Amino acid sequence: MNSIKSVPARVLSRRGGHSLEAEREQFDKNQAVSISKAINTQEAPVKEKHARRIILGTHHEKGAFTFWSYAIGLPLPSSAILSWKFCHVLHKVLRDGHPNVLQDCQRYRSNIRETGDLWGHLHDRYGQLVSIYTRLLLVKISFHIKHPEFPPGLEVPDEVLEKTAGTDVNNIFQLTVELFDYLDWELKLSESVFRQLNTSMAVSQMSAVQCRLAPLIQVIQDCSHLYHYTVKLMFKLHSCLPADTLQGHRDRFHEQFRSLKNFFKKASDMLYFKRLIQIPRLPESPPNFLRASALAEHVKPVVVIPEEAPEDEEPENLIEISTASTMEPQVTSDIFDQTFGPPNGIRDDRDAQIESLKKEVDVLRAEMEKIKLEAQRYITQLKAQVNSLEGEVEEQRKQKQKALVDNEQLRDELEKLQRVKQDSDRSQRLCAEAEKKATATEIRYTKLKEKHSELINTHAELLRKNADTAKQLTVTQQSQEEVARVKEQLAFQVEQVKREAEMKLEDQSLQMEQLRQELDARREELEQAQRSLSHAKQAGTELSAQVEALHAEKEVLRRSVSEKECELLSARGLIEEKELQLSQEVDKTSREIRELQGRLLEKSSQEQSLQQKLLDEQFIILQQTVREAEDILRDAVAKLDDPLHIRCTSSPDYLLSRAQAALESTDALEKGHAQYVASMADAAGLVGALALFAHLTADTIVNGSATSHLAPTDHADRLTETCRDCGQQSLDYLRKLKDKQTLGCAELGDVRRVLRGVLQLAQELRPKSLDIKQEELGDMVEKEMASTSEAIEDAVRRIEEMMSQARNESSGVKLEVNERILNSCTDLMKAIRLLVMTSTNLQKEIVESGRGAATTQEFYAKNSRWTEGLISASKAVGWGATQLVESADRVVLHTGKYEELIVCSHEIAASTAQLVAASKVKAEKSSRNLGKLQECSRNVNEMAANVVASTKSGQEQIEEKDTMDFSGMSLIKLKKEEMETQVKVLELEKRLEGERVRLGELRKQHYALAGTYGTEEDGEAKPAPAPRRGILKKPPLAQKPGHGEPQRDAGPSPPHI
């Protein structure tokens, strides 16, 4: 160990750098091998070990840069199976890769979208699946970029879901809709896969079927989480919003529930999934969101990935230890030889120690990789355990909710029992009171019975006494009358007691019976009392006592009334005192109000004076601003006649921008003027707009004068006069602003008129090619390239239709000729399609390498002339393909000429040459796509030559040549035929010459319509006439390019005739 410290620092630095570079190269090599093995054209599922190496690579470099650097080079447009497996690997990398993978994939969204669009237009079984899979991946990337709280693996606890949703109903509503869209694309992919397969148990074991089924494992994992989150959010929405509002959400959820249940059922029945994934079972019916307690019945579906076999899990080493260990000592020895010279046959101990340490490091690195892989396997197992524990937790939570519900029910029952117990206690108390009353009544009955017996005895004694009979009779009669009256009163009291007892004890039957017995006893007691005089007297005494009590109460009430009257008199006195105080306060308040009104009048007069002073100051500021603006405009107008200014030049584009800005400033000036007229206390808006108007108008005048120095005489004079008129109209408007009398009627109509005149002249002086809105150029390039591809696809389809029609309608030599011509046309169309695709790739490469930090639209706008050249060339190719198909159709139907096919072939060769030249302008010489484009161009030329050759040979076979037999003619007749033939030859030559002249004129007119104005060598722009509107408007059908289009400087310049 001590000997390593004595190694020179430069040697160690070289060794360390070499080791890192070698390790990086080995990592790139292993990643490339894994990607090539995982993503290939074999119709078999992606092997797990290759996908695992790619995922470990993303964790190693903390991103997916290496993956995408190899992935964008894959020939995805050439094979649908290759694109399908690429989407599968990308899905796994997104789910299990490093978190930075999501940002890297966001940068390549356009590549994913282009792959999906390409295969979506083709009628291929894998192609349709690729189109849907790419849409799913784009939706997945967009969702996780927008909601970073959700990792691409979608494994988050419910607390994070609650925090992300928040309490805002709008946020919860929007998040639910996004989860619905996410789940829709997952289910659409699964339905498309099952639609293409026979889902019997035997078919799922075929490699071709497994290639389609393999990505559904990730889809099942995503769907389980999305379903759980959707249920949670739906319950939360129903707790915040009425049920009618969420009817659409419930319908959409029920449809997704049925699709997901069907998907899980089909997948569970297949042998392929049974050994790879444990699919959860959904409930028989969807959750009832209208019942809040149904949330407790919801169980989170948990997907479990079974542990793989050890031999399948054991991956190859990411770094080839044997290679590294054999190469590094050789490199080390080379470094020592270069630094210290040859060892002269003596080996240093330090080298031996270094080599041994290197071997130890390699062994430790291999062990570390194994430990990492084991850790990854343990993490997978722990995830499975966590998922199972989460399922158990959900089950426990469900049981807890049920226990809470049962507890609430038991608590309600307990309260009911307590209320029943209280009622029973109250009834018992009433029964006890009734028993006491009954006992007292019995005692009273006993006493009355004793008195009754005494009265009987007394009555018997009285009967024996004859002497007192008459007297007792009279007394008895009187007593009976009194007893009758007492009886009526007592009967009335008994009825009242009865009614009260019935109202209080009508619900207690037992008590009613007891009270009835008591009433009967009382009736018997009253009947006995009728014969009791003493009892009658006692009752009269009680009545008199009651009357006396009433009299006493009456006296008390009378005294209280007198007291109340005294209190009322005292209250009236207090009210009078309060009214007096209130009147005094009202007088005082009125005096204060008059004083405040006087002060208010003083304040209003002061405010009016200050307001007038403010108006005067604002008007003074406006006048000073107007004078400054006049000075600026006079200085600009003076430069129109300044001889020193004649050397200044400007471009029509800059003049156009300045005039447009000045014209726009008039709107702000008019608005500020209207505000000032409405309220003259604030001139800030008018002053600011006036300053801006003066500067922009002066700038327009000065640049108009500078632009006229490079314009033709007629345009220069008109521009100078218009600028002078602009300055004069602006000064007239400013003079009106200086006078208060004319301030309100100042108008900007004349100023706008002259500014529009400057705009029109600047527009006339612009070159034609600049007449296009530059922001539309990028869209036009993509549209024209797409329309060209569509035209070529349509041409291929029409040629195939003509081929089948020719086989049905012709035979023999004609069929052979037609097939040969149509086959050559088909080969030409395929070559053109390949050339257009290569040109599109080269164009993208040029834009990506040249735009820098700018957008694609800005790059096209900056290189507008090159962009227009691409558009013209693309139109020419599409038009040539359309014309070739139409000519071939007419030739097959014997309504056209073979020469039309030859001319169309030459036209297509020229158009493709123009497209290649337009693409080569900004391409790098070392570009691989440029070489492919040139090769495709040569292929197109060869195919065009084949079309010409096929046409000529077919023409020779079809056309019948008359045999020239002149043996039977005389000398005079031969001479006559010779003269007639010479006349025909002269006529045909004259006609040919005329047609050539006409062709030349047509080409001149074509170049004149398609030509653009160049620039001088010193960089000064030549003046151009007024451009025609709608130059680049796309025709409804493919037509001859260049008609109504400017010539692009990026393509080859047309020859002059």
In angstroms, rounded to a whole number, what is the distance separating the alpha carbons of residues 731 and 734? 5
Closest CA to 652 of 534, 513, 758, 539: 758
Closest CA to 53 of 32, 71, 73, 68: 32
Q: Kindly indicate the confidence band of residue 698, based on its pLDDT and cuts at 50, 70 and 90.
A: very high
Average pLDDT score over residue span 621-647: 86
In angstroms, rounded to a whole number, what is the distance separating the alpha carbons of residues 841 and 279? 43
Q: Kindly indicate the confidence band of residue 696, based on its pLDDT and cuts at 50, 70 and 90.
A: very high
What 8-state DSSP symbol labels residue 198? -
- Distance between terminal CA atoms of the chain? 86
Q: Which of 259-263, 813-817, 937-941 has the lowest mean pLDDT?
A: 813-817
In angstroms, rounded to a whole number, what is the distance separating the alpha carbons of residues 21 and 614? 78
**How confident is the model over 112-134, as pLDDT tens digits?**
888 888 888 877 778 888 889 99
pLDDT of 241: 83
- pLDDT value at 780 more than 80: no
pLDDT of 725: 92
Q: Kindly indicate the confidence band of residue 1020, based on its pLDDT and cuts at 50, 70 and 90.
A: very low
Which tokens is 380 given? 């997978």
Q: Which of 154-168, 342-356, 664-678 has the lowest mean pLDDT?
A: 342-356
- pLDDT value at 1015 more than 60: no
- pLDDT value at 501 more than 60: no
Instruction: Calculate helix-pair angle for 349-464, 321-340, nearest 10 degrees.
Output: 140
CA atoms within 13 A on the CB side of 484: 6
pLDDT of 1052: 34
The dihedral sign for the CA sequence 448, 454, 460, 464:
negative
Give the residue with greater pLDDT, 640 vs 921: 640
Which tokens is 399 given? 């049981």
| SS3 of residue 304 by DSSP | strand
pLDDT of 771: 45
User: Is 0.75 topped by the overall pTM?
Assistant: no
How many other C-beta atoms can be found within 10 angstroms of the C-beta atom of residue 453?
Answer: 10
pLDDT of 319: 37
- pLDDT value at 5 more than 70: no
- pLDDT value at 334 more than 50: no
Cα 294 to chain centroid distance, Å, stands at: 31
Closest CA to 843 of 772, 781, 910, 792: 781
DSSP code string of 110-175: HHHHHHHHHHHSS--HHHHHHHHHHHHHHHHHHHHHH-TTS-TT----HHHHHHHH-S-HHHHHHH
Longest CA–CA span in the chain (Å) reads 209
| SS3 of residue 1031 by DSSP | coil
Average pLDDT score over residue span 326-350: 45
pLDDT of 529: 58
902 to 673, 949, 994, 999: CA distances (angstroms): 70, 9, 21, 16
- pLDDT value at 512 more than 70: no
Average pLDDT score over residue span 311-316: 41
Average pLDDT score over residue span 294-298: 78
Long-range pairs, 128-131, Cβ under 8 A, ≥24: 128/192, 129/80, 129/84, 129/189, 129/192, 129/193, 129/196, 129/212, 130/80, 130/83, 130/84, 130/87
Closest CA to 784 of 1038, 1053, 1046, 1040: 1038
Give the residue with greater pLDDT, 884 vs 318: 884
Average pLDDT, the chain: 75
- pLDDT value at 807 more than 70: yes
In angstroms, rounded to a whole number, what is the distance separating the alpha carbons of residues 675 and 681? 10
Average pLDDT score over residue span 939-965: 73
621-630, 843-852, 920-929: which has the highest mean pLDDT? 621-630
